[in-house]
Chain A
Amino acid sequence: MDWGKIRFFLGEVWRNFTRNVIMQVTAIGTVTVMILLLGTFLFAQQTLGRVGGDQIAKIEISVFMTDKATPADGQRLMARLKSDPRVKRMTYIPKAEGLRQVRDRLKGQLDTSLLTSNPLPDALRIRVVDPNQVHAVAAAAGKMPNVANVEYQRDFVERLLRLYDVMSKVGLAFMLLLVVTAAIIISNTIRLTVYARRREIAIMQLVGASNIYIRLPFICEGFLDGLIGAVLAVLLLGIGRWQLWPKLASSLPFFPLQDAGSDFGTFALQLLGVGASVGIVASWISVGRYLRT
């Protein structure tokens, strides 16, 4: 280990970093905002995804058979649907069972003893593996023989899926915009440092410093901007997670919020990685552009 070399290198990095404090603060602040929003967004998406997922998992397709269908027809239909890999689980409800369920559900609201004959057909209830396949499975079931009609909560499913989809896309676009902004500001900061140090760089090139030696202090500067910004954001997210979240959760008891902070450590590390990477890539690009010309 050559401590003289390390001290020289760290001295160079420190010199870069302290050359323009205001720009450095701007760059770090931008990264903080970026990571903060990224973290909040990912958290919101995860929570909504989980809530939506719970609802979607409960969605069932009801397949009603024609009046003249025999129990044997019902068995055949079940066998056909069972071979479909999109179907997760299904239950066969003969008309007697259906009537009993209706009676249970309407108990106290309606005098079901008035129902002497059974108006219900035999039915199947299907749950699918992937909520996106509800439509397809319902349509397929509708075309099978002896099927009278198919019902499911079409509107609800569609809205939930669309909301989730739109949120993901908007959020992604928004995040990309933020990442690009942070990268541009870091790269601008580095460019200012490069400009302030152009004499040093010229002399380095003159005396035969290799490119990586010239680049490294600037890359470190970008890395520090990204990392420090991300650390600040993670601290703020941590405060939000342990201080604000419990209050919010207790004020919205009807909303099935779950504790999403169990893997906060991994989440924080990922965010730090994003911050540091943005810093490194941005500075690499801006120094590279200077050295080529």
Chain B
Amino acid sequence: MISLREVGLVYPNGTRALDGIDLEIAKGSFVFLVGHSGTGKSSLLRLLYREQKPSSGMVVVDGIEIGKLKRSKIPELRRKVGVVFQDFKLLLDKTVWENVAFALQVTGAPTRDVMRQVPRVLDLVGMAHKSRVFPNELSGGEQQRAAIARALVNNPKILLCDEPTGNLDPVNANEVVDLLHRINLKGTTVVVATHNALVVDRMRRRVIRLEHGKVLADDERGLYHGIESDIRRDAEDLALAARVRHGLG
């Protein structure tokens, strides 16, 4: 579904955001991208919906080669890829319903589809009862669920989330990630860039760790700080426990 080969990204100001990235993300998988701020998580996501072009290497998303994609073909790609952000990016002068419908209407979808798809996704994210409410009257978690509904209304094959829980408290964060999980179970490939360790550790899904624009670790059932550090921490805990016992004994 997503494939990166030797991908490099250098911004015009000379910043090397990504360097020699090799990745395969299978259809229907759920992947966390973790790493400190500025390690290239967002840059990597931006390549996948062609907000950025790779400076080198090859990025393929659902059979489309991003580097060679014509400007006029970008909308086609964007309809296959839903994107969710930390700051929701909802339109404040439109209701939840209008925000979600907007995403369909501006692609020229017939009204019939709008009337069918919008209730479906609002129901999926559990926001059907708030469809007439404006974003400012919603909690952060609700706003993010509305934003997810908007990202899903085109029936994308891939859902990209850039720090989706960044503005949420732990309870709302867990709810949003559970929702993403449910969406994934329906067959959508989900990629989540985050530095929310709690969420990552609870899910135990594939974790790709970036550092200085390179893939540092890629664990199939990973943890936020990595399995090795987890083992090390366990070992340290054991050692500490042994010392404590020893000291006590």
A residues with a Cβ closer than 8 A to B are 2-5, 8, 199-200, 202-211, 213-214
| Inter-subunit contact B78/A208 (CB<8 Å) | yes
B residues with a Cβ closer than 8 A to A are 49, 72, 74-79, 82-83, 89, 91, 102-103, 105-108, 110-111, 114-115, 150-151, 154
Q: Is the interface of A mostly helix, strand, loop or mixed?
A: helix
| Inter-subunit contact A208/B79 (CB<8 Å) | yes
- Closest A residue to B115 by CB, please name it: A4
Q: A199-B89, A209-B75 are in contact. Are A204 and B108 (CB under 8 A)?
A: no
| Inter-subunit contact B108/A210 (CB<8 Å) | yes
A210 to B75, CA, bound (A): 6
Q: Which of A8, A200, A203, A207 contacts B79 (CB 8 A)?
A: A207
How many A-B contacts at CB < 8 Å in the complex?
60
A271 CB, nearest partner CB in chain B, Å: 34
Interface centre among B78, B106, B114, B115 (most CB of A within 10 A): B106
- CB-defined contacts of B103 to chain A, threshold 8 Å: 203, 207
- CB-defined contacts of A8 to chain B, threshold 8 Å: 105
- Closest B residue to A201 by CB, please name it: B106
A201 CB, nearest partner CB in chain B, Å: 10
- CB-defined contacts of B72 to chain A, threshold 8 Å: 211
If A205-B74, A207-B79 are given as contacts, then 9 extra A-B residue pairs at C-beta distance below 8 Å, sorted by A number, are A4-B114, A5-B108, A203-B102, A207-B151, A208-B74, A208-B77, A208-B107, A210-B75, A214-B106
| Inter-subunit contact A208/B89 (CB<8 Å) | no
A209 to B105, CA, bound (A): 9
Interface centre among A199, A205, A206, A214 (most CB of B within 10 A): A206
| Inter-subunit contact B78/A5 (CB<8 Å) | no
A110 to B148, CA, bound (A): 106
- Closest B residue to A9 by CB, please name it: B105
| Inter-subunit contact A4/B111 (CB<8 Å) | yes
| Inter-subunit contact B106/A202 (CB<8 Å) | no
B31 CB, nearest partner CB in chain A, Å: 21
B149 CB, nearest partner CB in chain A, Å: 12
| Inter-subunit contact A3/B154 (CB<8 Å) | no
| Inter-subunit contact A207/B107 (CB<8 Å) | yes
- CB-defined contacts of A4 to chain B, threshold 8 Å: 110-111, 114-115
- Closest A residue to B151 by CB, please name it: A207
| Inter-subunit contact B106/A209 (CB<8 Å) | yes
- Closest A residue to B72 by CB, please name it: A211
